[in-house]
């Protein structure tokens, strides 16, 4: 509202217009103020009332129904959990938050070891490093090497002989004894074995 100093000069009409206008303005202003005031008061009162009523009411409702059952019946838990897991990087969370060392400290390692096939692992390692070959090379001696070579040569000769005989007697392939030593599989010729360090494995 704008107030102007009263100017005595002017006719009655102007005065009346001014008076009417200012009265109207005052009315509008008052109404707005009262409305706002009322609204604020009502909001506060209703708010505080709701604050008191809703928890009590909710508590009363929830206590009267089995929420778990409702959720289980109506919610697709698998979808919820899957969505949650999709959001989370579970591995990272475990890595960040779990002390694996402590878990290992508490774990019964003996029980784990009991379940590990130790003998098979040992056998596997022996097979992979070819321990028998290492032992043969380190302890066999020349005489044993010579006999291993002789054995391989004899087996080879046997195969050649059986092939020749098979051909001469028109034997079918499946009746001939199959070849064991292929040309691309070199027999372990211990003649070269003395320098075992250079021997290819």
Tokens of 60: 């009363």
Give the N- to C-terminal CA distance of the chain in Å, as an integer.
Answer: 106
> Closest separation between CB of residue 109 and other proteins, Å?
20
- Quick one: which segment of 7-15, 38-46, 77-85, 124-132 binds other proteins (CB under 8 A)? 124-132
Smaller CB distance to other proteins: residue 22 or 162? Answer: 162
Smaller CB distance to other proteins: residue 89 or 127? Answer: 127
Specify the 3-state DSSP secondary structure of 25: helix
> Can you tell me the distance from the alpha carbon of 133 to that of 119, in angstroms, rounded to the nearest whole number?
19
- Quick one: which segment of 1-9, 13-21, 73-81, 121-129 binds other proteins (CB under 8 A)? 121-129
Residue 185 · residue 152 · CB < 8 Å: no
The answer to whether 163 contacts other proteins (rule: CB under 8 A) is no
| Residue of 17, 21, 83, 151 that binds other proteins (CB under 8 A) | 151
> Closest separation between CB of residue 75 and other proteins, Å?
42
Size of the site for other proteins (CB under 8 A): 38
Residue 186 · residue 149 · CB < 8 Å: no
| Residue of 6, 105, 117, 195 that binds other proteins (CB under 8 A) | 117
Smaller CB distance to other proteins: residue 22 or 163? Answer: 163
Smaller CB distance to other proteins: residue 75 or 134? Answer: 134
- The H-or-E segment that residue 191 falls in is none
- Quick one: which segment of 34-42, 89-97, 106-114, 152-160 binds other proteins (CB under 8 A)? 152-160
Helix pair angle (131-139, 118-129), 10° resolution: 50
What burial letters (b/e) apply to 41-54, b meaning 16+ CB within 10 Å? eeeeeeeeeeeeee
140 CB-contact burial (10 Å; exposed 0-12 / middle 13-18 / buried 19+): middle
C-alpha torsion angle, residues 15, 16, 22, 28 (rounded to 10):
-170
The answer to whether 150 contacts other proteins (rule: CB under 8 A) is yes
> Closest separation between CB of residue 197 and other proteins, Å?
19
Contacts with other proteins by CB under 8 A lie at 117, 119-121, 123-124, 126-128, 130, 132-133, 136, 147-148, 150-152, 154-155, 157-159, 161-162, 165-166, 169, 171, 175-177, 180-181, 185-188
């Amino acid at each position: 509202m704008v107030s102007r100093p009263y100017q005595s000069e002017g006719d009655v009409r102007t005065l009346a217009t001014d008076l009417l206008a200012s009265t109207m303005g005052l009315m509008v202003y008052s109404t707005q103020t009262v409305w706002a005031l009322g609204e604020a008061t009502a909001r506060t009162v209703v708010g505080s009332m709701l604050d008191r009523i809703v928890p009590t009411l909710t508590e009363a409702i929830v206590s009267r129904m089995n929420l778990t059952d409702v959720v289980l019946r109506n919610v697709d838990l698998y979808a919820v959990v899957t969505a949650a897991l999709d959001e989370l990087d579970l591995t990272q969370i475990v890595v960040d938050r779990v002390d694996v060392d402590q878990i290992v400290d508490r774990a019964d390692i003996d029980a784990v070891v009991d379940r590990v096939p130790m003998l098979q692992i040992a056998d596997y390692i022996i097979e992979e490093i070819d321990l028998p070959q290492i032992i043969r090379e380190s302890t066999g001696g020349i005489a044993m090497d010579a006999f291993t070579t002789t054995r391989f040569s004899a087996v080879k000769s046997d195969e050649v002989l059986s092939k020749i005989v098979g051909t001469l007697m028109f034997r079918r392939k499946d009746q001939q004894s199959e070849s064991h030593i292929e040309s691309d599989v070199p027999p372990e010729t211990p003649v070269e074995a003395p320098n075992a360090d250079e021997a290819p494995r």
